[in-house]
Chain A
Amino acid sequence: MPRGSVLAAGLPASQPPTHDTPETLVAVPGHGGGPPPPSIPRPPVSNARMGMLMLIGAETMFFAGLIGAYVVFRFGSPVWPSGHLYLPVGITWVNTGFLLFSCYTMWRAMRCIQADQQQPFVRWLAITALLGSIFLGVQGFEWVQLVHDGLTISAGMYGATFYTLIGCHGLHVLAAVLWLGVVLFQARLGKFSQQHAIGVEICSMYWYYVGAVWVVLFPLVYLN
């Protein structure tokens, strides 16, 4: 039974009609119930931002499933990593730096568009896209080396979890870079401004998220 309490909070003596308990009825001139507010204010979180938050929630559950499987296998195996294979931790530290720095440059780009500075905005976006591409390139190079050394997806549980987990993250970075490419193209055409920045804003949310996932995956997978 809705009592309209949310609406009536600031309006004393305005109970909605609750005919199952008529004694609580209080006459409200002009209305048959709790008066509606003149208009519902703009929602605190816009549609686009909320949609992106939900996508991030779903992605988190997806990675949780994969990470759960990884943890089961890693802590269930007597030997980890299996065989003589070691991941190139040094170069991946540097690569991690690229990805984290790209989150910083993305943040700078957002600061610029919020101040309506078009030129630096486009520049910071371009740097971000470049850093993301470098991350992908380095990772691709790493993979080629690893496969060359005999670590393939079918070579055992170590390779299977490595390529699945890191590969899924890599695909997310790829998607983010492609999306950022589109955003960058639009930005060069001057599509964004202080008031109309939602397109780049949700892209940046996704970018930060992809960076955050890496912060979890890197120590988990690379740092033994």
Chain B
Amino acid sequence: MSEAGATAAHDAHAEHHELGFIRTYIFSTDHKMIGRQFIFASILMLIVGGLLAMMMRWELAWPETPVPFTSWISEPFMYPADEDSTVGAVEGLSEYVDPYPGANFAKSLGSVGGAHMDPAFYNSVFTMHATIMIFFVVMPFMVGGFGNYLIPLMIGAGDMAFPVLNMLSFWTAVPATIMIVYSFFVEGGAAAGGWTMYATLSADPTLSGVDTGADLWVISLLILGVSSLMGAINYITTVVNMRAPGMTWFRMPLVIWSLFVTAILLLLALPVLTAALGMLLFDRTMGTSFFMPGGGGEPILWQHLFWFFGHPEVYILVLPAMGVTSDILSTFSRKPIFGYKAMAFSMIALAFLSWIVWGHHMFVSGMNPVLGTAFMLTTMVIAVPSAIKTFNWLGTLWGGNIRFTSPMLFALGFVSNFVIGGLSGIYMASTPVDIFIHDTYFIVAHFHYVVAGIIFGMFAALYYWFPKIFGRMMNETLGKVHFALTYIFFNLAFFPMHFLGVGGHMRRIYNPLQYEFLHDLQWWNVFITMSAFCLGLSQLIFFANFIWSLIAGKKADKNPWEANTLEWTAPSPPGHGNFETTPTVYRGPYEYSSPLVKEDWLPQDRKLGPEAVTASH
């Protein structure tokens, strides 16, 4: 955009400054409002997804005992505890429950509005937990929320390239979200085929016992695909065309690089899911049999199409968290990021590799073993760019003047979880090992370290940009307490799942005590559940801090973290059109502790006089 064009655009913004309530808060075309809408919507869904996880954990620790606070859920999902119901009752259950710690706790709490969970409802719960967390929490939070908020601000643009498309992107995500929540309330309940919806379980309604709910699941994701497509087109165009003068590709903050690469993955991966979902919907409603062997279909084709989308999806989820982490680690180490270009190129490499590894999800699906070996090799190669990123993060910290603020702590937490999740990924990637641990709690541990670990990136982003987004500071002490508890209980909840997995504990089972060989491991299930409850309760600190800071937090300065990137040169929160004048960029985003200036930060848009340059010699 030329400077004249930018000024004209800014004037145009100034003209209709007085927008009504609806245009400002509901059908807004301002990327900052749309970003906030996505953030709030995904936080609401985070609560839903989190509570579903709690229900699952209860069931796993104390199988078939009444789940507290659930008696309001109607039959056939939950059965009243006092009724002498025979729903999946196991003979002599108490003999296995009572010896373990927490049994009394479970019994007394279970009497508070407790109800028995139907085994089929358990399938819906884990299916919807994953679906909501992936598609309605992490994606809208990081890509929809922070992607929207940060891209124009950090590249020095007044708004997105297509503001109306941006608004439509949010308002198509809303019906998709409503639909997925509503699917709990239709007859038969929500989709119960697992979030991967493997055929034939998903393709034939009679197999999972869920009819309308699964149709709603498919339609909801089809609509969400349209929303993401609009977002991706917007992000890519904005990054390519709308950068401020001087903002070259290699002066862009890494979080913008990560969102740019993510948008390309979204653009190209989601349509493949759309095609597969379309065929699945036809199988379910029109009588085709694309994925039904009875009519000549191929159940494995669904897996290929799903994972061809699904593996890029993993990087859609994790790349923005990597970008956020890079920015925050550099800012609070007061050092330039170590190996900027290597960081950018390793993200591109990850994005490329994510297209050729999907078969590693299917090692035990009956694939040709030669193909399995090929996928094993490409998967192992992912370790290279991942290790480049990890070591560059460590290199950034090395010798830095580290400030342990809450965003910094969460960013460090993300790195540590990513390392554990990455290392357990190597086990899963080796076919001989995977055959043993496939579909056990080992994979549950692995993907929670990676994907649930992204929540540390989300919190880092929220604590870091909260002052910019809402104009107020969050409470630092509460933030640190929140981090400490989240970090401890996250690891206590997810690390023991590795042990369960190696012990042979299958994923997605309703009652582990039905298996003789899992009885000795039940102690771990109780331990994990206790930790998971503590993890959930720790988030109350966050919600208290978040809401209190929104209303009564300390007013934030323009640049409370003394950071370099362009969004910190705009007011907190920025007005309509973002910048008073279009910024001009003179340098990269990570010039911390520069000898050119006496402060230890040097904003991207600051023009230095000749004396500053001479002084450094």
Chain A positions within 8 Å of B, measured between CB atoms, are 1-7, 16-17, 19-20, 22, 25, 27-43, 45-47, 50-51, 54-55, 57-66, 68-69, 72-73, 76-77, 153-154, 156-157, 160, 164, 168
> Any chain A CB within 8 A of the CB of B586?
yes
* Cβ A25 vs Cβ B161 within 8 A: no
Contacts of B287 in A (CB 8 A): 153-154
* Cβ B296 vs Cβ A157 within 8 A: yes
CA distance in complex: A121, B217 (Å)? 46
Contacts of B229 in A (CB 8 A): 55, 58
* Cβ A2 vs Cβ B594 within 8 A: no
* Chain B positions 237-274 with a Cβ under 8 Å from a chain A Cβ: 237, 240-246, 248-251, 267-272, 274
> Any chain A CB within 8 A of the CB of B162?
yes
Set A20, A27, A28, A54: member contacting B237, Cβ < 8 A: A54
Contacts of B282 in A (CB 8 A): 153, 160, 164
The smallest beta-carbon distance between A210 and chain B, in angstroms, is: 15
* Cβ A34 vs Cβ B586 within 8 A: yes
CA distance in complex: A58, B290 (Å)? 22
Q: List 22 A-B contacts (CB under 8 A).
A: A1-B588, A17-B591, A28-B610, A29-B610, A29-B613, A30-B607, A33-B608, A34-B246, A36-B246, A36-B584, A55-B233, A58-B233, A58-B267, A60-B271, A65-B271, A65-B275, A65-B308, A69-B305, A72-B298, A156-B296, A164-B279, A164-B282
* Cβ A47 vs Cβ B594 within 8 A: no
CA distance in complex: A69, B588 (Å)? 46
* Cβ A1 vs Cβ B274 within 8 A: no
Contacts of B617 in A (CB 8 A): 25, 27
The smallest beta-carbon distance between A172 and chain B, in angstroms, is: 13
* Chain B positions 278-328 with a Cβ under 8 Å from a chain A Cβ: 278-279, 282, 286-290, 295-298, 301, 305, 308
Q: Which residue of B lies closest to A3 (CB)?
A: B250
* Cβ A160 vs Cβ B339 within 8 A: no
> Any chain A CB within 8 A of the CB of B519?
no
* Cβ A22 vs Cβ B616 within 8 A: yes
Contacts of B154 in A (CB 8 A): none
Contacts of A157 in B (CB 8 A): 289-290, 295-297
CA distance in complex: A4, B1 (Å)? 19
> Any chain A CB within 8 A of the CB of B236?
yes
Contacts of A58 in B (CB 8 A): 229, 232-233, 267-268, 270-271
* Cβ B587 vs Cβ A16 within 8 A: yes
Contacts of B270 in A (CB 8 A): 58
Q: Which residue of A lies closest to B335 (CB)?
A: A20
> Any chain A CB within 8 A of the CB of B341?
yes
CA distance in complex: A54, B267 (Å)? 7
* Cβ B305 vs Cβ A65 within 8 A: yes
> Any chain A CB within 8 A of the CB of B276?
yes
CA distance in complex: A20, B588 (Å)? 13
* Cβ A36 vs Cβ B586 within 8 A: yes
CA distance in complex: A8, B290 (Å)? 56
* Cβ B286 vs Cβ A1 within 8 A: no
The smallest beta-carbon distance between A132 and chain B, in angstroms, is: 23
Contacts of A168 in B (CB 8 A): 278
Set A31, A39, A50, A160: member contacting B3, Cβ < 8 A: A39
* Cβ A27 vs Cβ B614 within 8 A: yes
Q: Which residue of B lies closest to A65 (CB)?
A: B275
Contacts of B613 in A (CB 8 A): 17, 25, 27-29, 31-32
Contacts of B341 in A (CB 8 A): 1
Q: Which residue of A lies closest to B296 (CB)?
A: A157
The smallest beta-carbon distance between B595 and chain A, in angstroms, is: 5
* Cβ A68 vs Cβ B248 within 8 A: no
* Cβ B607 vs Cβ A6 within 8 A: no
The smallest beta-carbon distance between B371 and chain A, in angstroms, is: 14
CA distance in complex: A25, B249 (Å)? 22
The smallest beta-carbon distance between A96 and chain B, in angstroms, is: 23
Contacts of B250 in A (CB 8 A): 2-3, 5-6
Contacts of A72 in B (CB 8 A): 298, 301
* In the complex with contacts A156-B296, A157-B289, A4-B248 CB distance below 8 A: yes
The smallest beta-carbon distance between B604 and chain A, in angstroms, is: 9
Contacts of A154 in B (CB 8 A): 286-288
Contacts of A63 in B (CB 8 A): 275
CA distance in complex: A72, B178 (Å)? 36
The smallest beta-carbon distance between A153 and chain B, in angstroms, is: 5
* Cβ A57 vs Cβ B267 within 8 A: yes
> Any chain A CB within 8 A of the CB of B373?
no
**Which among A28, A36, A37, A72 has the greatest number of chain B C-beta atoms within 10 A?**
A36
CA distance in complex: A156, B292 (Å)? 11
> Any chain A CB within 8 A of the CB of B483?
no
CA distance in complex: A106, B459 (Å)? 51
* Cβ A40 vs Cβ B587 within 8 A: no
Contacts of A77 in B (CB 8 A): 296
> Any chain A CB within 8 A of the CB of B2?
yes
Q: Interface digits, B596-617 against A, CB 8 Å rule (1 contact, 0 not)?
A: 1100001000111110111011
Contacts of B248 in A (CB 8 A): 2, 4, 6-7
Contacts of A73 in B (CB 8 A): 290, 296-298
* Cβ A33 vs Cβ B272 within 8 A: no
> Any chain A CB within 8 A of the CB of B55?
no
* Cβ B591 vs Cβ A59 within 8 A: no
**Which among A38, A41, A45, A54 has the greatest number of chain B C-beta atoms within 10 A?**
A54
CA distance in complex: A126, B589 (Å)? 52
The smallest beta-carbon distance between A208 and chain B, in angstroms, is: 19
CA distance in complex: A119, B589 (Å)? 53
Q: Which residue of B lies closest to A23 (CB)?
A: B617
Q: Which residue of A lies closest to B308 (CB)?
A: A65
CA distance in complex: A130, B268 (Å)? 32
Contacts of A27 in B (CB 8 A): 610, 613-614, 617
19 additional contacts (CB under 8 A) given A1-B588, A4-B588, A73-B290:
A1-B339, A2-B340, A16-B586, A17-B616, A31-B613, A32-B586, A33-B586, A36-B585, A37-B246, A41-B2, A47-B242, A65-B271, A65-B274, A72-B301, A76-B298, A77-B296, A154-B288, A156-B295, A157-B296
CA distance in complex: A63, B341 (Å)? 35
**Which among A30, A40, A50 has the greatest number of chain B C-beta atoms within 10 A?**
A40
> Any chain A CB within 8 A of the CB of B593?
yes
CA distance in complex: A206, B165 (Å)? 18
* Cβ A69 vs Cβ B275 within 8 A: yes
Set B308, B337, B596: member contacting A17, Cβ < 8 A: B596
The smallest beta-carbon distance between A52 and chain B, in angstroms, is: 9
Shortest 5 CB-CB contacts between residues of A and residues of B: A32-B608, A65-B275, A154-B287, A36-B246, A2-B588
Set B2, B162, B589, B594: member contacting A51, Cβ < 8 A: B162
CA distance in complex: A93, B594 (Å)? 69
> Any chain A CB within 8 A of the CB of B510?
no
CA distance in complex: A96, B369 (Å)? 43
* Cβ A17 vs Cβ B587 within 8 A: yes
Q: Which residue of B lies closest to A154 (CB)?
A: B287
Q: Interface digits, B155-193 against A, CB 8 Å rule (1 contact, 0 not)?
A: 000000110010000000000000000000000000000
* Cβ A19 vs Cβ B610 within 8 A: no
